[in-house]
Amino acid sequence: MSKAVDMLKDAVRKGERIALISDSDVDGLSSLLILDNALREANTSLFVCGGPSHGINPPDIKAVLESEPRVVVTADVGISEHAAAAAFRERGIKFIITDHHYPCGKTAPADAIIDSCLANPSAEMAGCTVAFCLGASYRLSMKEDFDGIKIACDIETTGLSPSQNEIIEIGAVKFSGVKVIDRFSSLLKPSSHISAEISALTGISNLELEGAPDRVEVLRCFREWIGDETLIFHNAPFDTSFIDSEFRKYLGYSLSNAMIDTLPMSRSALPLQSHKLESLKDYFGIKAAAHRALPDAETAGKLYMILAHFRSPAFRVFAEQNLPLAALGTLSDNIALKGISRALVKKHLSGIFDVRRYSIKTLLKKLDISKKNLRRDLTLKLIPFLNTPKRMGLPHLALDILKADSRKNISKAFGRVKELNDRRQSEMRISFAEILTRIHGDGLIKNPVIMLKAEKLPEGLRGPTASRISQMFGKPSVVFTRPANADFWTASARGAGHDMLEAFRNCGGGAEFGGHPGACGIRINSAKLDKFIEDCGDYFKKQNARKTPPAPPSGVTTGKNVRRGGLSFRSGADVIWDDWLNKNIKKFLEILEPFGNGNPLPLFSGEGMTCVSAAQKGKKFLIRLKKNDKLLSIITNEDPGRGVMDVVFTALRRKKKIIFFLKSWKKKEG
C-alpha cells in the first residue's frame, strides 16, 4: 500500500498523467469513481475495459497507452493481466494493481499489488473496497503531519506504582503514515518473581522472565531506539511515569520526548462508556492480541491513526462521499455479506443519496430509487442498468454516464443504455424461461450444485443467469457457454454461500479459473468438461454430507429472560422460537441485517405449534399457528392442514412489518 501511495504522490508532484482503468461492471465502476475522487487534483484519464467477459483486452491496452500515462492503476481487474503488465513495463510505465480476485494462473507482475484475495482470502471484499483503501491512504498521506515518524508504545508492569513496581515488558512500533518502519519488543528481568495475578493479567510467566535480558541493557537500547521521536501512549501518565522512573534510576536520563495520549482523544471524540484500549479495539474492529506490550502498542498506533486522521473533517468528507459507492459495489458483486463487507452495506449504503456526483444523483432520480426500498431498488434497477453496457458489449456507455456533469451530457448516454437494458431484460426473460425448463426437466434441481451447458445463451447473460439460478434455488450454480467454433467452454459460477474457488481447487479436471469465492469464471477444454462436472457434483455431495448444525449468528446478545438463558440452536434451524423472540423479533432481525450471500435469513423452529386456520391468498396460503395462547401468521406455498406440528420458518422485515415464511413442517402423531 505505502509503495503505491508513494508512486501516486510522486506522479502528482511531477504533473505526470495517471491512467485509471477498471472493469465495467458496477463494482469496477464504483472503484473507478472512488479513485478518481481520491486523485481529483491529479492529471488523470479514465478507462473501462472488457465486454461481456472480464479482463483488459488489446484495444483497452492501446487506448490507455495512447493517453501517455506514467502510472497506470487498475480497479477490480489486473491480477491476471500479463499482456497489459508487459505492455506497460516495456514503455517504462509504473503499474499498480488493485483487485479482489484470485489470479487465473500466475499473478501478473506489477510495481505494487493490492489484492484482498491474496492478502487475506477469508476477508471477502469487493474491488471497490480495495480501491477505497488505496484512495483513503493517498488522501491521508496529503496531510502535513501524516508522514512524520511516530512511535506507539506500551509496557507491562508488576503493579501500579513506579516507585514500588517494575516494567517487565516493553513493546513499540515506529511508523510513518501507514508504513511500519520498525518494531521493538523485549522482556525485562524483574528483581523477584511476579505474582500469579500479574502473570494471568499480562500473559507473562516467571519461566519466560528467567531468561529475559538485563534490565539496564534493554532500557539503554530502548532509549537509543526512540531517539527524539514523538511517542504515543494510551493513558500516557501511567506508562511514562514508569519509563521516566526507570530511565532516571538506571540511565541517569529523564524521558523528555513529545507525547500524544490517545485516551483523552478518545474521550473527547467518542460517546462510549468505556475508553479502555481493549474496548476501543473491539469498537473499531482492530485485530490484535491483548495484554502483551507489542500488540497493545500496535493497537495504540492504529487508534491514533483513526482518531487523529480518519476523523478529521477533510477525510470525513472523502469517506462520506465514497463509502456509499463502496457499499453499492459490494452489493452488486456477489460478495458474502460478512465482516467489513456487511458493515459497509449496513452502515453506508443509505448514504448513496448524499453523494454529490451529478451522475449518481441523476441516476437515482431517473430510475426512481426510493429510500424506503433502497436495497431492493438498487438491486433491481440501478445495478442491472449500469451492468447492461458490459453485458451488451458496449462498456464505454456506462463510463459516459458516470462522467457526465450536466443534463445535456447524460441524456444521450442514458437513453442508449435504457434501450439496451430493455432489450437485455427481454432476452433474459426468454433465455431464463428455457433454462428453468431444462433445470426441472433434467432433474438438476435435485443436485447439490446446478451445472448446465447453455450453448445458445448469449455470453453477456451467462453471469446474470448463474446469479439468478443461485438466488432462486439457494444452491451453487455454474453456467457454461461455448464460443463459436471453439474447442473449449467458458463458465460463470456463483457460490450461494459456498467458496467456489476452494471447490474448483478440489475438483481437478484441468479447468483454469479465477475470481473471488462468491463469483468466479472458468475456462475448460471440451474433452474435459463432463469429467469436471462429475467431479464438482461429487465434491458438493461430500460437502453437504459433512455439514454440521449452524452456529449462532454473530453479534446477537440475549437476555436472562430467554429460555435456558439464551437462544437455543438445533439441527435444521438456527433458533427455537420462544417468548423472547416473539417480543423482540424486530430488534433481532435488525442486528443480523443485511441479509444476502454469506448472511442468509435465519431459520426459526417452532415446536408443538397448532395450525388453527389457513386462508388462500392467490397462489399462497396464510396459516395461523398457535402456542401458549399466542398466534403467529405465516405465509406458505401449500396448506399443511390442521393439527399440532413442528415447523421451520424464516422472517423478513418489509417496511414496518415482519413477514414470516414457512420452510418445512412435520405433523405430530396423535
- 320-337 residue pLDDT tens: 999 999 999 999 988 888
Per DSSP bridges, beta strands 450-453 and 230-233 are unpaired
H-type alpha helices, 357-406: 358-366, 374-377, 383-391, 396-403
Helix H or strand E encompassing 423: helix 407-441
Per DSSP bridges, beta strands 477-481 and 450-453 are parallel
C-alpha cell at 41: 487534483
> Looking up cell 517504462, which residue turns up?
92
Determine whether 275 is an active site residue: no
210-220 burial, b for 16+ CB within 10 Å, e for fewer?
eebeebeebbe
Q: Provide the 3-class DSSP secondary structure of residue 483.
A: coil
For the cut 90, the answer to whether the pLDDT of residue 233 exceeds it is yes
DSSP one-letter string for 257-317: S-EEEHHHHHHHH---S---HHHHHHHHT----SSSHHHHHHHHHHHHHIIIIITSHHHHH
Edge to edge, the sheet with strand 149-157 lists 179-187, 167-176, 149-157, 230-233, 259-261
What proportions of the chain, in percent to the nearest 5, are helix, strand and coil? Answer: 45, 25, 30
For the cut 80, the answer to whether the pLDDT of residue 552 exceeds it is no
> Looking up cell 476501543, which residue turns up?
280
CA distance 93 to 82: 14
Q: What secondary structure, in 3-state letters, does 583-651 show?
A: HHHHHHHHHHCCCECCECCCEEEEEEEEEEEEEEECCEEEEEEEECCEEEEEEECCCCCCEEEEEEEEE
For the cut 80, the answer to whether the pLDDT of residue 120 exceeds it is no
H-type alpha helices, 67-214: 82-90, 116-119, 127-141, 196-202, 206-210
CA distance 491 to 328: 25
Q: What is the mean pLDDT of residues 188-194?
A: 92
CA distance 114 to 635: 47
Determine the residue type at 425. Answer: Q
In this predicted structure, what is the pLDDT of residue 547?
57
Residue 467 CA neighbour count, 13 Å, CB half: 19
356-383 burial, b for 16+ CB within 10 Å, e for fewer?
ebbbbebbbeebebeeeebbebbeebbb
Report all structural domains of the chain as residue ranges with CATH numbers, in order of start.
2-143+316-356 (3.90.1640.30), 149-308 (3.30.420.10), 442-545 (3.10.310.30), 563-667 (2.40.50)
66-119 pLDDT tens trace: 999 999 999 999 898 999 999 999 999 999 999 998 887 789 999 999 988 887
* Cα dihedral value 141, 142, 147, 151, nearest 10: -70
* Cα dihedral value 139, 141, 143, 147, nearest 10: 170
For the cut 60, the answer to whether the pLDDT of residue 567 exceeds it is no
- Residue 501: closest CA among 155, 79, 208: 79
From the CB of residue 559, how many other CB atoms can be counted at a distance below 10 Å? 9
Measured CA to CA in angstroms, residue 76 lies from 35, 360, 658 at distances of 12, 20, 37
In this predicted structure, what is the pLDDT of residue 554?
37
Among the ranges given (241-245, 252-256, 372-376, 559-563), the one the predictor scored with the smallest mean pLDDT: 559-563
DSSP state of 181: E
In this predicted structure, what is the pLDDT of residue 556?
37
282: confidence class by pLDDT, cuts 50, 70, 90: confident
In this predicted structure, what is the pLDDT of residue 579?
78
188-208 burial, b for 16+ CB within 10 Å, e for fewer?
bebeeebeeebbeebebeeee
- The answer to whether the CB of 640 falls within 8 A of the CB of 624 is no
In this predicted structure, what is the pLDDT of residue 566?
35
Q: Provide the 3-class DSSP secondary structure of residue 498.
A: coil
Measured CA to CA in angstroms, residue 210 lies from 157, 194, 670 at distances of 16, 11, 71
CA distance 585 to 602: 11
- The answer to whether the CB of 607 falls within 8 A of the CB of 628 is no
- The answer to whether the CB of 665 falls within 8 A of the CB of 644 is no
Show Cβ contacts of residue 526 under 8 Å, excluding neighbours closer than 6 positions: 482, 486, 487, 488, 489
Q: What is the mean pLDDT of residues 531-556?
A: 69
C-alpha cell at 97: 494493481
Measured CA to CA in angstroms, residue 350 lies from 177, 262, 326, 345, 370 at distances of 31, 31, 12, 8, 10
- The answer to whether the CB of 208 falls within 8 A of the CB of 187 is yes
488-519 burial, b for 16+ CB within 10 Å, e for fewer?
bbbbbbbbbbbbbbebbeebebebebbbbbbb
CA distance 378 to 373: 8
646-660 pLDDT tens trace: 888 998 887 678 889
From 291, 309, 440, 498, the catalytic residue:
291
CA distance 117 to 115: 6
Q: What is the mean pLDDT of residues 393-403?
A: 91
670: confidence class by pLDDT, cuts 50, 70, 90: low
417-435 pLDDT tens trace: 999 999 999 999 999 999 9
In this predicted structure, what is the pLDDT of residue 549?
42
22-71 pLDDT tens trace: 999 999 999 999 999 999 999 999 999 976 667 899 999 999 999 999 99
